[in-house]
Structure 1
Amino acid sequence: MRSPSADPARRLRPLLPLWFAVPVAAVAGFLMDLAYPSASVWWLAFPSVALLLLALIGRRAGGALLVGFVYGAVFYFLLVSWTSRYLGVIPWAALALLEAALTAVAVILIALAYRWLPQAFPGTLGRLLGLPAVVAALWVGQELFLGSWPYTGFPWARLGMTQSESPLAALTSWVGVSGLSFLIVFAVAMLVESVRLRLWRRPVRLLVPAALILLLLVTPAFPTTPAGTMRIGAVQGNGPNGYFDEREPYAVIQAQTEATEPLYGQDMDLLVWPEGGLDSDPFQDATLARRMTMITSRIDAPLLANAATGRGDEYFNTSMLWTQDGTAEQIHDKRYPVPFGEYVPDRAFYNAIVPDLIGLIGREYSHGTNPPLIDVDGVMVGLAICFDVIYDDVIAEGMHGGAQVLVFQTNNADFRGTDENLQQLAFARMRAIETGRSVVNVSTVGTSQIIRPDGTTIASLNADEAGAMLEDVELRSGLTAGVILGPWLQQLLLWGGLGALVIGWWRARRRR
């Protein structure tokens, strides 16, 4: 007598009735949020993925669309609740519903894989390895889709980023963040198929999933080469940096200056201030420029600062290396200004819908094109400004340019008291592990940290407190496999998953 899992007709039926699959998807979304900071229960990502896959198995497109939307809505409404901190429910709901809708569309392909692949490749090998591989590849494709569209995308919720404090984080140095997402989903999908195939009746076949999970847990980080140290100071001024903060003239730089004073007379190679650590453009404000020059003279080191700058008819979010002679020849402009935060795409269209909100965004930042790198006495420092930390190409460009340490400047003042800062800090920690580089992550209002290449913390400043850090930060050279192969692996998984789905559809159709 054949087992139910061997019956093609039964394999085409949904594993869970829709009335039950929808609340299961909601629970999956809730658990996935808990895997991110501030809860940071990283292992909950695994049951979350399992529940969503169980809700999708056997679904047709319409049912999968509903399941995916419910999962996405619960997940994103919880994850990005910080967007409502100042502007209220409209931008929060708009972002969460958009991401939920895009997630719903993307997971239809996963549901189709569960319908077509078991028919196309019905053997144990196809079910235990082939199907999970395609499902995991399609998951990565969904992440790339949400991370690149619309406009510059929102790659904030990638599954691999949940693992910054888990034993699996080291895998990013081999396969990148997307590769880690693939491995997590692959492992979960393989366990799901092991149960559906009732492999506990044939324990030898359980060796494959057991060996994979063990391998994932014990893989060490990809080795990089120590290249000395750099003494770096980082200052968190805790000034009035928020969009709606009331401030006196030069109040922001005054807060930064006061927090820097304990570092006067200390030996250092570089002083770092956060994004938005200046009140205005120092290239056009002589008073501000003089204050910065005074500080670089006091510390006898260059100052990496950040401000909104204007060039011609364009504005940029700019980091600059200010030197003791009162100049800054090295600058980097933020590559991905935040849509509806730092600029408004299709302004006329959105202004007709919500003119009060769009009217608050008066300045349009342009996308930077210069490299995310500065040279400090022969040491290349890779940069990322605020949300640029979540874009792989910005990090990769700095690494390929020879960065031996990474500096991330951010302004979290608009999200005080929310999880946004901790989520971004977790992403910074994951970048340290992925690249094999130390990371100096400095915020206007916290939490700021200096992080070792293995993801452990050297120094930290609590949120909503002014302070300074000064540490000998380890430099490293050499590129990890994750940096070199990560972009290629993304494309392989994206197109390989789609190609396998088409082949599965064709073979399933012929077999029927």
Structure 2
Amino acid sequence: MVLPLDPGPRVDDAGPDAAADASPPAGSRWARRRRKLRAGFPRTVLALLCGVLLALSFPPYGVWPLSLVAVAGLSLLTHRRTARQAAWTGFAFGAPFLIWLLAWLTVIGADAWLLLAVFESLFLALMAAGLAVVSRLPGWPLWTACLWVTQEWARDRVPLGGFPWGRLAFANTTSPYTPLAALGGAPLVSFAVALSGALLAAAVLALRAGEGARNRRKALGAVAVALAAGVVGYAVPLPTAGTTAGGPAQAEVALIQGNVPHAGMDFLGRPMQVLQNHVRATEKLAQEVAAGTAKQPQLVIWPENSSDVNPYDTPEAYTAIQGAVDAIGVPILVGALVDGPDAQHVQNEGIVWAPSNAAEPGPGAHYTKQHPVPFGEYVPFRSVLSKYITRLQRVARDFAPGTATGILQVGPARIGDVICFEVAYDGIVSDAVSKGGRVLVVQTNNATYEHTGQPDQQFAMSRLRAVEHGRAVLIAATSGISAVIEPDGSVLKRTQLATAAEIEASVPLRDPLTVADRVGAAPEWFLAVLGLLAAGAAAGLRRRAGTR
């Protein structure tokens, strides 16, 4: 079916800039350019402000309603503009948003921080151009929401495996929209938030169109649907009880946060220091269990990099870990860097380490991180870039990616293990549940970013994953934030940053899959493609109208 173009004044279609362009030329080219810049300056300033508001909706600030305001603002600023105007507006919106959101990257370097933020802003610029195009279609708030999903879909995948930070869903991990994750994952949450924001913009436009009763009804209808998109989340059931189909319904767990010598790029300190911190904390817990002041756990989780040396070829480390395991008497999931498939690579692993009295003592099954971080854990185009960026030489060996999902049996619990930034990637977490994980474990080391917003942002992602997959989430971090999150996203226990701590909890082990687990990435693909089709249809219709 061919959708008719939305009627409206031709000059307004392109915005005030077009009106300036249509006036008779006067003065030099530079004078005309200055007039265009002055005409577009207020819109640019408002776009910058909306970008800042979106940044404030994310942790550590977490004012989630601002995500609706930001989406509404960008929708208004791009409505019926030319694609070129809207692209600039989108960039002016995206740059402050991502520069603020990713400020934790200054630990690595200001150049890395700004380059990544500016590059990611280009995706928002392209999306904004699409928003301007679809704003001429009937039902444009729907297509606007689809294009937000399209933009996030692209950023999650390209380049170099994508960078999912800054999705609308990750600002809404404790909002009325959060339960929608159990139906369609993070993409459905982003869609609902964007739809509500666009509908609020539609209400503003209806009121600006005049004082008539018809316009008031349009505005009220848009606001009502915007509210419904959020309130509907309360109708989504979020079961939390454990089940027995795959084994026991509960497990007693302990999370060890041994802390690091200091934050920053050189968080490890002396060799074996971080490992000894975790060994001592585990032995202290064992003493409390023996004294009857703490419960006996059935499994213990150590964080990523809790062994700061390769335990396989360092006898001192091997002996220390085995001693801690024997002291507590149950398997420990140990995070360690081990030698890779060749001399040029290492691997980031979670290793199940069994007590000496077990049938198979010592290190056993392991999970290797599947998605190493570009420029942090491996250097793309190393031979070329390292000649010009000497700081890259600090990544002495590239991390080799794993190829298997992190399904590990640790004591009575079959866990789905993901390591650090992998919690941001839908597919990795989804596989860890759909392939048998009854509880999710996030082994992480955020010591590099200890005094920034990064730990809070990653913690929020973990809360969304709990709801999305109906699983308890156990976060073990070297220096925080470690936590136990219930399957409904509520936080049972959590630690503070920059401290040595230990958490004990009884967590549910669950087998049922959520709707989101069953449908997988289908909703995201559907909404993303729908957004592209809407933009293509709108562009085609406008071209045909111009030809006529």
TM > 0.5 between the two? Answer: yes
Post-superposition offset of 1:204:
5.1
3-state SS in 2 of match to 1:315 = strand
2:519 pairs with 479, 482, 485, which one?
485
Contact (CA 8 Å) 1:35, 1:41: kept in 2 or not? yes
> In the superposition, relative to structure 1, how do residues 90 and 195 fare at CA in structure 2: closer, same or farther (>3 Å)?
closer
| Structure 1: distance between partners of 2:413 and 2:88 | 52
Matching of residue 471 in structure 1 with residue 472 in structure 2: no
| Structure 1: distance between partners of 2:156 and 2:15 | 29
Partner amino acid, structure 1, of 2:200: L
1:447 pairs with 445, 470, 481, which one?
481
2:376 maps to 341
Contact (CA 8 Å) 2:242, 2:510: kept in 1 or not? yes
Larger mean CA deviation between 13-22 and 439-448 belongs to 13-22
2:348 maps to 317
Matching of residue 297 in structure 1 with residue 326 in structure 2: yes
2:405 maps to 371
Poorly superposed stretches of 4+, deviation over 4 Å:
none
| Structure 2: distance between partners of 1:15 and 1:295 | 70
Contact (CA 8 Å) 1:446, 1:463: kept in 2 or not? yes
State TM-score, norm by structure 2: 0.86
2:463 maps to 429
Contact (CA 8 Å) 2:271, 2:309: kept in 1 or not? no
The CA deviation string for residues 66-116 of structure 1, in whole angstroms up to 9 with x for no partner, is 21222121011111111112x3311111211211233223322222222xx
| Structure 1: distance between partners of 2:510 and 2:16 | 50
Aligned 1:210-225 pairs, distance under 5 A: 210-211=224-225, 213-214=227-228, 216-220=230-234, 221-224=236-239
State TM-score, norm by structure 1: 0.91
| Structure 1: distance between partners of 2:172 and 2:372 | 26
Contact (CA 8 Å) 1:15, 1:54: kept in 2 or not? no
Aligned 1:94-243 pairs, distance under 5 A: 94-114=115-135, 117-118=136-137, 126=138, 130-198=139-207, 201-202=213-214, 205=218, 206-207=220-221, 209-211=223-225, 213-214=227-228, 216-220=230-234, 221-224=236-239, 226-227=242-243, 228-240=249-261, 243=265
Partner amino acid, structure 2, of 1:142: Q
Post-superposition offset of 1:35:
0.5
Partner amino acid, structure 2, of 1:337: P
3-state SS in 2 of match to 1:197 = helix
Matching of residue 275 in structure 1 with residue 304 in structure 2: yes
> In the superposition, relative to structure 1, how do residues 15 and 156 fare at CA in structure 2: closer, same or farther (>3 Å)?
farther
The CA deviation string for residues 286-314 of structure 1, in whole angstroms up to 9 with x for no partner, is 22122212211111211001111113303
Larger mean CA deviation between 288-297 and 498-507 belongs to 498-507
3-state SS in 2 of match to 1:465 = coil
> In the superposition, relative to structure 1, how do residues 209 and 18 fare at CA in structure 2: closer, same or farther (>3 Å)?
same
| Structure 2: distance between partners of 1:431 and 1:177 | 8
Post-superposition offset of 1:209:
4.3
3-state SS in 2 of match to 1:417 = coil
Contact (CA 8 Å) 1:14, 1:56: kept in 2 or not? no
> In the superposition, relative to structure 1, how do residues 15 and 371 fare at CA in structure 2: closer, same or farther (>3 Å)?
farther
1:89 maps to 110
| Structure 2: distance between partners of 1:261 and 1:316 | 27
3-state SS in 2 of match to 1:103 = helix
1:123 maps to none
> In the superposition, relative to structure 1, how do residues 348 and 108 fare at CA in structure 2: closer, same or farther (>3 Å)?
farther
Aligned 1:344-355 pairs, distance under 5 A: 344-354=379-389
| Structure 2: distance between partners of 1:105 and 1:371 | 34
Partner amino acid, structure 2, of 1:334: K
Partner amino acid, structure 2, of 1:247: G
The count of residues paired between Structure 1 and Structure 2 equals 494
Post-superposition offset of 1:215:
5.2
Matching of residue 284 in structure 1 with residue 298 in structure 2: no
The CA deviation string for residues 213-237 of structure 1, in whole angstroms up to 9 with x for no partner, is 2352253344446322111100111
Post-superposition offset of 1:377:
4.3
When Rg is computed on C-alpha atoms for both structures, the one with the higher figure is 2
| Structure 2: distance between partners of 1:243 and 1:187 | 41
| Structure 1: distance between partners of 2:440 and 2:144 | 34
1:42 pairs with 54, 58, 64, which one?
64
Contact (CA 8 Å) 2:82, 2:132: kept in 1 or not? yes
Post-superposition offset of 1:65:
2.4
Contact (CA 8 Å) 1:438, 1:450: kept in 2 or not? yes
Post-superposition offset of 1:415:
0.9
| Structure 1: distance between partners of 2:392 and 2:193 | 39
1:28 pairs with 47, 50, 54, which one?
50
> In the superposition, relative to structure 1, how do residues 29 and 240 fare at CA in structure 2: closer, same or farther (>3 Å)?
same
Partner amino acid, structure 2, of 1:402: G
> In the superposition, relative to structure 1, how do residues 77 and 208 fare at CA in structure 2: closer, same or farther (>3 Å)?
closer
3-state SS in 1 of match to 2:374 = coil
